[in-house]
Amino acid sequence: MAGTPGIALGAPPGRRVAVLGGGVAGLTAAHELAERGFEVTVYEARAFGGKARSIPVPGTGRDGRPDLPGEHGFRFFPGFYQNLPDTMRRIPVAGNADGVWSNLISVPEARFSRRDGDDILLALPDGITSPTTPEAIRETIAGTISTLSKMPPAEAAYFANRLLVFNSSCDARRFGQWEHTSWQDFVHGHERSHEFRAIVSRSLTSIMVAAKEDLASTRTIGAMGEQFLGNPLGIGNDGGLDRVLNNATNTAWIDPWVQHLRGLGVRFELGARVDELTMRDRRVSGARLAGGSTVEADYFVVALPVEQARKLWSSQVLAVAPELAATERLFVDWMNGLQIYFRAPLNISRGHTAYVDSPWSLTSISQNQLWTHSLNSFGDGTVADCLSIDISDWHTPGIVYGKPALECTHEEIFREVWAQLSSHLNDREQLLRPADVHSWFLDPGITWQGSRNANADPLLINTAGSWDARPEPHGAIENLFLAGDYVRTDVDLATMEGANESARAAVNALLDVAGSPAQRCTTFRLRRTPELEPLRVIDAGRYAAGLPNMFDEPA
């Protein structure tokens, strides 16, 4: 290709948009722009859907069945997500009145599994009376946590109070104080019991929000607690507290999405890796692809992960938009998936499981119970279940080889994960049987380099104080717009919701620059308990006066 690959010839001036990256952010931007009459081409280096896609396990299909479905890591769609479900409702699927949104199903429980200890099966909150006063909120949360988690009542009450401190904090305190305080420091996790640290400080962050308790900001994790624990009835939620898709991600969501976008006129260029943005005056004049061809367009939406996007910030780019240099301070780490396929059904949990004492911070979900199409319709027909596991800590030594995951071969990773799972699940009854294992599959983004692994798909990790390093969706470069979960969003986490929200903001900025009369994208914000708003007003005065939150008692 040469000249203007993928851009429709004859497109009206000022309407050509090149979307660089085909993950959730890129597909969302393409969707919103195409609906508003823009000529859109999506350039993607590897696969559409990005880290959200499902990944066929090569060579496993037999007798006309598709390959077994693998994935970068399991995903879930909390009920407080609003932006992404809105998009999903606009992706048509035959027989579904609400499009691919109808492929979301709620799970009824979560399991916190202990090594050599009693496991906790949590029925996800249902029917709890919605509290209306601070004291009622504190008592309800404390009682629920104490009952469901077996946490000592005094510590449950302490945690409930910490959540109340955050929920009643004004915006100025959230950004000025809690943004710069780690979650672990906020809950004083290092001073509490093992049970408290395991459930509140560690597992809640890893199973709910893919974060690390010693790094993540209290502003971000507190906002997630506000959604999960401060809203026990799910008031205003889009659906159940914890939802998953009813089939492999590509089947249930990504493939119908790409098909719909093609129907809207979006063009797709797969295998197109962007190496450079060329500048003229204060505008991007082109995007150079690997191989030497150049993409020309009126507007460019960079919808790449931060570790890829910041490679494009050349000296010419930074001369116009020096604030983008701060993205170098954003931290990425590893959180990747391993799938184990079984010949017999599993009976672990009817939802997600956190392995509280696992050195590698493992979480999992068994998928066949949740899918409308049984896993025996994939592969060789003998797979009855799949345990999809997220490995969240790649730096702590394991229990078998004494090495962190990043220094283990793929076979060693599987054996280590199996040992950590077994130590949690088989201490009372044998829930995992080696004889039932059919095969396993590690995220192909993990590649062995001879002495350690490399990772093509790291995850942005929220860190205290990182808000200042996050860019806005549009800055000084007139025709450049940013979409991705590292851009400033209300959810402020590496999530599909954040990617979708950021793309909506980027499109709205583009519409403003283009002078378009099209209706702006709707954006949704996280819910706050309205009964606490008077306390936030009081807290604004206290913060301005240098006083702590009224509920902020000494540890």
pLDDT in tens, 235-284: 788 988 889 999 999 999 999 999 999 999 999 999 999 999 999 999 99
Neighbours of 205 (CB within 10 A): 25
- Cα 335 from Cα 215, distance rounded (Å): 15
User: According to the model, what pLDDT value does residue 148 have?
Assistant: 53
Owner of token pair 């420091």: 185
> Given pLDDT bands bounded at 50, 70 and 90, which one contains residue 125?
low
pLDDT at 160 over 90: no
pLDDT at 2 over 90: no
User: According to the model, what pLDDT value does residue 334 have?
Assistant: 92
Contacts of 523 (CB under 8 A, 6+ apart): 83, 490, 501, 504, 505, 508
> Given pLDDT bands bounded at 50, 70 and 90, which one contains residue 147?
low
Q: What is the mean pLDDT of residues 220-227?
A: 88
pLDDT at 232 over 70: no
CATH code: domain 56-82+335-455 is 3.30.9
Q: How far apart are the first and last CA of the chain?
A: 64
User: According to the model, what pLDDT value does residue 5 have?
Assistant: 39
User: According to the model, what pLDDT value does residue 267 have?
Assistant: 98
> Given pLDDT bands bounded at 50, 70 and 90, which one contains residue 473?
very high
Q: What is the mean pLDDT of the chain?
A: 90
Beta bridge partners of 70: 55
Distances (CA, A) of 255 to 51, 275, 287, 345, 500: 14, 27, 27, 27, 17
Q: What is the mean pLDDT of residues 182-187?
A: 90
228 and 214 in contact (C-beta within 8 Å)? no
Contacts of 555 (CB under 8 A, 6+ apart): 188, 191
pLDDT at 98 over 80: yes
User: According to the model, what pLDDT value does residue 150 have?
Assistant: 65
* φ/ψ (deg, to 5) at 368: -60, -35
User: According to the model, what pLDDT value does residue 128 have?
Assistant: 42
Q: What is the mean pLDDT of residues 18-43?
A: 98
In the chain, CATH 3.30.9 sits at: 56-82+335-455
> Given pLDDT bands bounded at 50, 70 and 90, which one contains residue 11?
very low
178-197 per-residue burial string, b: 16 or more CB within 10 A, e: under 16:
bbbebbbebbbbeebeebbb
User: According to the model, what pLDDT value does residue 3 have?
Assistant: 37
User: According to the model, what pLDDT value does residue 214 have?
Assistant: 77
User: According to the model, what pLDDT value does residue 451 have?
Assistant: 94
Q: What is the mean pLDDT of residues 197-204?
A: 65
pLDDT at 12 over 60: no
Q: What is the mean pLDDT of residues 495-505?
A: 97
Q: What is the mean pLDDT of residues 112-137?
A: 68
pTM summary value: 0.93
Q: Which amino acid is at 286?
A: G
Cα torsion through 341, 347, 353, 358, rounded to 10: -70
Cα torsion through 444, 449, 452, 457, rounded to 10: -30
In the chain, CATH 3.50.50.60 sits at: 16-46+271-332+460-514
pLDDT at 211 over 80: no
> Quick one: which of 488, 509, 410 has its CA closest to 455?
410
- Cα 134 from Cα 45, distance rounded (Å): 50
Give me the long-range contacts of 282-286 (CB less than 8 A, separation at least 24).
282/320, 282/476, 282/477, 282/478, 283/477, 283/478, 283/479, 283/480, 284/477, 284/479, 284/480
User: According to the model, what pLDDT value does residue 122 have?
Assistant: 76
pLDDT at 126 over 70: no
CATH architecture of 16-46+271-332+460-514: 3-Layer(bba) Sandwich (3.50)
Neighbours of 165 (CB within 10 A): 22
User: According to the model, what pLDDT value does residue 58 have?
Assistant: 97
Q: What is the mean pLDDT of residues 491-507?
A: 95
pLDDT at 149 over 60: no
User: According to the model, what pLDDT value does residue 201 have?
Assistant: 60
- Cα 496 from Cα 84, distance rounded (Å): 7
Contacts of 168 (CB under 8 A, 6+ apart): 134, 532, 535, 536, 539, 549, 550, 551
Per the model's pLDDT, the better-predicted residue between 377 and 135 turns out to be 377
Name the pairing type of β-strands 336-342 and 352-355: unpaired
Residue 389 burial class via C-beta count within 10 angstroms: exposed 0-12, middle 13-18, buried 19 and up:
buried
Q: What is the mean pLDDT of residues 326-341?
A: 96
